[in-house]
Structure 1
Amino acid sequence: MKEMGKSPSRGKLPKWKEEELEEVEYEPRSIKDILIEMKNISELIIDLAYSSLLFDNKELAEEVKYLEARMDTLNYEIRLIAMMAARNKRDAERLTAILQIAEAAETISDAAGDIVDIISLKLDHPILPRLIRESDETIKKLVVSDKSKACNKSIAELRVASETGVRIITIRRGKKWIYAPKKDEKLRAGDIVVGVGPKEGLDKFNAFLEGKTEGL
């Protein structure tokens, strides 16, 4: 659980560390919305953690650490809302189950963080290279350049899946995460896209998003 308080001078820190140090401000928000985001993070973070380990991908590991810090923030927010909402013993008992769900979600994110910590330890394991060779798909973090023709075009318009075999599983736009984006979701400059698919397809998609090619 991260400490909540005023952020110190950060300089150049990874995004997950910035999120971890960010001062949490109360913002009216429903418990339902927070639980939905926690559920989405729980589903995504395990995939990213295992993929970062299998492919020794430090960029994906950074995203896992960011999501882990984000989960800490959400858990803090939901506890704060629960304390403000409980007016009597009956209310407190009802909110206990919700807090247990939130705690379980945070446990999942903490476990994912432990998985990616293995990368920093640089441990060799004989089974990992074999798993990588046998895998038909890989996962990669891609960034949409402002020079790319993909800017302001929807996933459907770009025909990403049919042209490259890549599935976009999530998009990070600033601090906002778009989980399982719909086909009408438009890509914007600066978006961080996490895609799953064959290496050749990911390389092709990446070149397009970087503005190195005119189309898919």
Structure 2
Amino acid sequence: MMENKDKEIFGGERVSIREALVEMKSLSEKIIDLAYAAIIFDSDDLANEVENIEEKLDRLLYRVRLTALMAGRDPQLAEQLLGILQVASAAEQIGDAAVSISRLLSTNVEYRPFIPFILKGGDEIIRALMVDESSDLVNRSIGGLEVEGETGARIIAIKRGNRWIFNVSDDTVIKPGDTLIVRGVEGGVEDLEAYCKGERRWGQ
């Protein structure tokens, strides 16, 4: 039944609850990475993107709730949607928490000496890596390289000159001079750094 009834009209568009949940899951994972990166690199640009993603999560949650209300006439479907609403609400709460983290940038530096200690407590690190023109990564796509599978490090954003690329995907092509904002275990990030510097050939 969910297969046929999980879409409703919203603003002239057909909105799939499944698609909304998949996007919310992806955004809720990304927003936490960017929030911590904003603090680490003291970046207002990253903090602003956190705010933008949180607004997207709010809109997606609204759409999911609206669809659930419109399906309320069907008790069986409404019961299934109750669990979906809980998942969507949890993703939106993660977004709110990420915004709270990124807003620590508005406090004076002397009032946030605890931040490095918090960030050191996890198994993964976030680092900015510059891509040298001699690197095997140059002019190749992230998906084609299978960066995360090869190194265990995920590229969460790219700074190219004065602009940021936040919608990083498998089709994103790495260019010389790019600064990759990456997250992963220390060993994987160090491997990727060696590839970025051209110190190692890709896959070796």
Tell me the TM-score normalized by structure 2.
Answer: 0.60
Q: CA RMSD in A?
A: 4.5
Tell me by how many angstroms 1:86 deviates.
3.0
Tell me by how many angstroms 1:112 deviates.
0.7
Partner of 1:187: 172
In 2, the alpha carbon distance for the partners of 1:85 and 1:201 equals: 50
2:20 to 34, 49, 53: 34
Tell me by how many angstroms 1:27 deviates.
2.2
On the 8 A contact 1:168/1:193 being kept in 2, the answer is no
Structure 1: runs of 5 or more not aligned:
1-23, 143-148, 209-215
1:139 to 124, 127, 142: 127
Partner of 2:88: 102
- Tell me, yes or no, if structure 1 residue 76 matches structure 2 residue 62: yes
- Tell me, yes or no, if structure 1 residue 126 matches structure 2 residue 106: no
2:50 to 64, 67, 70: 64
Tell me by how many angstroms 1:139 deviates.
3.5
Structure 2: runs of 5 or more not aligned:
1-9, 131-136, 159-163, 184-188
Partner of 1:146: none
- Greater strand content: 2
User: Identical aligned pairs, as a percentage?
Assistant: 33
Structure 1 residue runs of 4+, over 4 Å off? 129-137, 156-163, 174-178, 188-194
73 and 194 in structure 1: CA distance in 2 versus 1, 3 angstrom threshold:
farther
- Tell me, yes or no, if structure 1 residue 155 matches structure 2 residue 148: no
119 and 77 in structure 1: CA distance in 2 versus 1, 3 angstrom threshold:
same
On the 8 A contact 1:161/1:167 being kept in 2, the answer is yes
**Number of paired residues?**
172
On the 8 A contact 1:64/1:113 being kept in 2, the answer is yes
Partner of 1:201: 193
70 and 141 in structure 1: CA distance in 2 versus 1, 3 angstrom threshold:
farther
